[in-house]
Structure 1
């Protein structure tokens, strides 16, 4: 509370005006005291201390304001620098003229006081005083002689008759009062003009003592009416030696004008001597008073500068703070309007602006809430869909992704919201077919809707996706783009294919496999029954015909068995499997089978492990190696390379199995249908080898690729998910 009161006192106007008034009154008393030596000695020190205390209080308040201003400037408070510039401007404007006035006033004061004590003036006052004293001395000597003459006339007058003689002598001499006294001061007779005065004015003991010594007395003494009169006291000559010694006192009036002039001369001379004595203290007091006035003026100007600067800058500081609050999002700030000038108009305009901004913000907030509600509804709707939904901007940036899309593709797509699709494809290369389909249909400029089937190999293994795209209309506020709908049909296609080929296998077993055994038995019976009894030429024909029948029946049985193997869906027995050991085991079975074919192994030292059915993978390797042998042939040297590799893609480890040969490779016309049944490039074969391989790979969730090598020959790559090496048991 005390600090707040001091702060208000230092910044309030009326308390400071009261302090200024008290200081001015004190200075007025100081100035008045310098003109009176008695008051100067009694009051000047206290007035000086009072003014010094007031100036110290004012200086302390100004120091507090200056400290506050420095803190505001260092803190970067709004309006602090402008306040400091205005304060400096007030100080400079006040110091410059006041300093000039103070300098010349001080010079004028010093020289003016010196002129008061000029030598000629002092001589003139002394001469005037001596002149007045000389005039009084002449007049008193005349009155003394007159009194002596009157005393001589009273020599023969006896004391009883003295009153009559005194009256005549008084009238003739012009005296105010004549008194005849004995030598011891006893009044014998008296005559005077004032009837009211009963007792005559007796001379003092000192005068009587002087007369006893034989000397007369004459001097100026004050009268009862406040003026002066000449007192002359002389002894009366003795008529006889034995006569009583008597004394005559005469009081002569002095003209009032002469008395007044004499008093004025005496007072002026005394005043001059007093001022001459106080010459240096007077100059010091006037200089000190003028300096106090100067300091008071300067401090008042400084305080007025602070006060005026705060008053002028306060609206600007309020506007700056309000602007900062608006920049921080606080639109409820209202500034106080204390004037009707341009600054007041600016404050009112600012308040109107903040009200409108608050209304606009509230409207935008309501609109945002509505948009958020719609978005929440849309996200809930998209989240409940089993199809993946991805929306793209016109510049191919990801906007919206639902949970089903992340589940289908197996990657966190929502983290990539706002990023270009190209960046997502760069991070996840298996999405390149999706990007190519989008670019292809966008450049085709067909209808607003399109559909495409994609084959991806990602974290979820090989997937077949149905991708549907639609263009989004744009407007002036929100641009268009397109939306993608993804459906994983891998399991559906696999189920349809398995069902179709299962039906084919059953039909083949029913329609073809059942008659084959009777045909073969009949041909063998014909050979045993008729061949031994026939002639050589006829037996040769029968032998060739029955042999052809039996051979073709065996071929048809093999074909039907192959179809049965393809259509059959055996129960997989998955377990961790060392891929290098399995490849090495199968490779040993084929070493030396064809002398002209070299079998080479390139196994990864990391020893990849996968989770698979060993029997189905053995069947896969048998089919691939057999196909490679058949492609190379037996007429020219060849090479088959079996290779395993470990790799990581999208933070997912994979184990790859490569089977390469240097045969003629795949023909271009069948490159797109290599894994379909009945597709083969050999003169002999069922066309089911690679189809069975693909089926085995799909059963294990892998992906199969095949193509021609750049240096000649063909390759088949099997991609399987890699699993950690199992811990050895004790």
Structure 2
């Protein structure tokens, strides 16, 4: 069922105009059908055609109504917008039209049947028969009286001898009887004598052969016939005998005018009787005709009412349907929907208000969308900034519940913080036991409700100890308060600062110590050569031991100075595509050649990639680590294990060097790679520091840990991109 509002004005009213014109034409045909039942000639000529025309018209109306009803039912089944309300209105209108129309039709049929039946009441029929019989009896009495008078006149004429007597007698008889004309004729119809008071008739009205024949046969002719001017007259003819037996018979004819009143009454009775007989003959067809006409008109009226109810319901509900469609469009975000205004009534005002509302809502929505777009852009920019920040960012609400965080915060805390969103800081503290110092500092800062604070905090997690620079800021947003916490892992920065400081110390120490070493060694050797042979006994032994000690210590000092120099001024790397397993094997073979030392065991997984490293630098790292491991595990029957494998998912080479010694002390495990940190009595504390520097120059990482079964483990990670 299409909405009428969407049609052009001409097309919108084309259907109703057609139905209205067609209904008027069909109504005219129904009127003609009703009139035809009262006209015999018209009834016989056009009744069938009118019936067919009316039936076709009703069928067309029924078809139009059927299409409308089918469209309405189809829209209802598909749950089209406004179909339920339209169907309800149509049903209401149809019921309001059908019930009164059905009652009128029923009582009209009953009234029509009883009215037609009342026309043929037996008393009326008997009255008409009696009136007709009375009229006929009266006429018969008049006729018999005139026949008697005619026979008396005929006997008097029989005795008349002369013509003059005959004429006088006929005039007297005519005037006495009140006849129009009295004439005497021969048996063949020739006029013998006449008397008439009709001035317009010069020649008497002669009897025809029918009259003469009946007189010869029956000796009498008496019949009513129309008068020449108006009314009826009675023609009576009787035979008149001759004066002698041989004389031929004559015929006396009398024309008696029936009184006009008698004629009118008789004609009226005859006409009423004929009409009654005609109606009696047409009783059933007439009843059927009227009932059929009434049925067709009722059906036509009913169909027009149903069609009109559908049309009017569509017209009346069009604004409501448009409003429903507009509301649905607005609910889907279409704020440019403009509804057509059907009039200036209350519905028109409502539609205008809706259009104004959607226009204003559309403007507000555009502003909201623009504001949202700006907010999203700012939020995206902020997310981008937070994502790429190296510092961790956390935000808490006034109830100390975690609201937001960035990736750096999760990385520093080594925890997936998404599971703790909207959780309290106490819940976070229970999960982050290694970062309890940071959580405690944040909690204290928020509890003190200061506008800003900053602390240096040390935490310990799976990757070791970290030094964090943490600062907090309170942001007041009306009644809400947001605490923003920013913390940055300064471990590498502090380590770099320490490395730089130790490098500078090493450089200066190497410079300050190296300068006097050579003169000291040369002086000791010169003294030895000059005085050793000249001395004897205990003095010689003392000089020999003293000079040898000086030279040995100078050599040790030179070794330490060289280590300082190497740490302070690292040599440039010369990277080559290296078979790392072969490099490890070659290095281990040198150590395993000395059977008195701890044995070095390798567990090397197949590594198909060549690793771009400086072989000499990596060999130096392996040497330092193996030496430290052998020294640490010498008292436990040392065993050193080297494990190498390739993590292809991360494109990373991992080399692990472990021993079965006592492991790293708890105090030094976080500082073993710092300069001058050593557990050896004679160590310089620069070996592991140099190892870390070499690995970091290869863009790798190195860390130390203690094995659960005992012993120290050093893990090296180097990048191994595919070739």
Query: For the superposition of Structure 1 and Structure 2, which TM-score range results when normalised by the shorter chain?
Result: 0.7 to 0.9
What corresponds to 2:643 in structure 1? 643
Helix, strand or coil: the match of 2:235? strand
Q: Choose which of 681, 684, 699 in structure 2 pairs with 1:683.
A: 681
Count how many residue pairs are aligned between Structure 1 and Structure 2. Answer: 692
Per-residue deviation, residues 154-186 of structure 1 (Å, max 9, x unmatched)? 232545664433221111112222233344434
Per-residue deviation, residues 662-698 of structure 1 (Å, max 9, x unmatched)? 2122222223322111111111110001100110111
How do residues 260-339 of structure 1 correspond to structure 2 at under 5 angstroms? 260-338=264-342
Contact 2:241 2:248 in 1 (8 A): no
Separation of aligned partners in 2, 1:663 and 1:204: 174
State the shift of 1:243 in Å: 4.7
Per-residue deviation, residues 631-665 of structure 1 (Å, max 9, x unmatched)? 223x43122221123336xx632221111112122
Contact 1:638 1:662 in 2 (8 A): yes
Q: Choose which of 185, 192, 198 in structure 1 pairs with 2:196.
A: 192
Matched, 1:251 2:252: no
Contact 1:392 1:398 in 2 (8 A): yes
Contact 1:661 1:713 in 2 (8 A): yes
Per-residue deviation, residues 397-424 of structure 1 (Å, max 9, x unmatched)? 66999xxx99xx9xxxxxx9x988989x
Matched, 1:674 2:676: no
State the shift of 1:127 in Å: 4.5
Q: 1:220 to 1:702 in 2, by over 3 A?
A: same
What corresponds to 1:518 in structure 2? 519
Helix, strand or coil: the match of 2:667? helix
Per-residue deviation, residues 125-176 of structure 1 (Å, max 9, x unmatched)? 4454334323322321211121122222223254566443322111111222
Q: Which stretches in structure 2 are left out of the alignment for 5+ residues?
A: 1-6, 423-431
Separation of aligned partners in 2, 1:438 and 1:106: 102
Matched, 1:475 2:477: yes
What corresponds to 1:208 in structure 2? 212
Q: 1:678 to 1:419 in 2, by over 3 A?
A: closer
What corresponds to 2:50 in structure 1? 47
Q: 1:389 to 1:125 in 2, by over 3 A?
A: farther
Helix, strand or coil: the match of 2:225? strand
Contact 2:436 2:459 in 1 (8 A): no
Separation of aligned partners in 1, 2:564 and 2:437: 35
Helix, strand or coil: the match of 2:236? strand
Per-residue deviation, residues 511-533 of structure 1 (Å, max 9, x unmatched)? 22232223223323333333344
Q: 1:181 to 1:472 in 2, by over 3 A?
A: farther
Contact 1:454 1:465 in 2 (8 A): yes
What corresponds to 2:547 in structure 1? 546
State the shift of 1:321 in Å: 1.2
Q: 1:709 to 1:486 in 2, by over 3 A?
A: closer
State the shift of 1:721 in Å: 1.3
How do residues 593-604 of structure 1 correspond to structure 2 at under 5 angstroms? 593=594, 595=596, 597-604=598-605
Contact 1:505 1:567 in 2 (8 A): yes
Q: Choose which of 221, 226, 232 in structure 2 pairs with 1:228.
A: 232
The normalised TM-score by structure 1 is 0.82
State the shift of 1:251 in Å: 1.8
What corresponds to 2:60 in structure 1? 57
What corresponds to 1:34 in structure 2? 37
Contact 2:326 2:339 in 1 (8 A): yes
Separation of aligned partners in 2, 1:664 and 1:488: 31
Contact 1:397 1:419 in 2 (8 A): no
Helix, strand or coil: the match of 2:477? coil
Q: 1:219 to 1:62 in 2, by over 3 A?
A: same
State the shift of 1:200 in Å: 3.9
The normalised TM-score by structure 2 is 0.83
Contact 2:437 2:457 in 1 (8 A): no
Q: Which moved more, 1:254-263 or 1:600-609?
A: 600-609
How do residues 521-532 of structure 1 correspond to structure 2 at under 5 angstroms? 521-532=522-533
What corresponds to 1:653 in structure 2? 651
How do residues 300-449 of structure 1 correspond to structure 2 at under 5 angstroms? 300-338=304-342, 342-364=346-368, 367=371, 394=396, 442-445=442-445, 448=452
Matched, 1:69 2:72: yes
Contact 1:653 1:722 in 2 (8 A): yes
C-alpha RMSD of the superposition: 4.3
Separation of aligned partners in 2, 1:434 and 1:232: 156
Contact 2:507 2:564 in 1 (8 A): no
Q: Which stretches in structure 1 are left out of the alignment for 5+ residues?
A: 410-415, 424-431
Q: Choose which of 87, 92, 101 in structure 1 pairs with 2:90.
A: 87
Q: Which moved more, 1:445-454 or 1:302-311?
A: 445-454
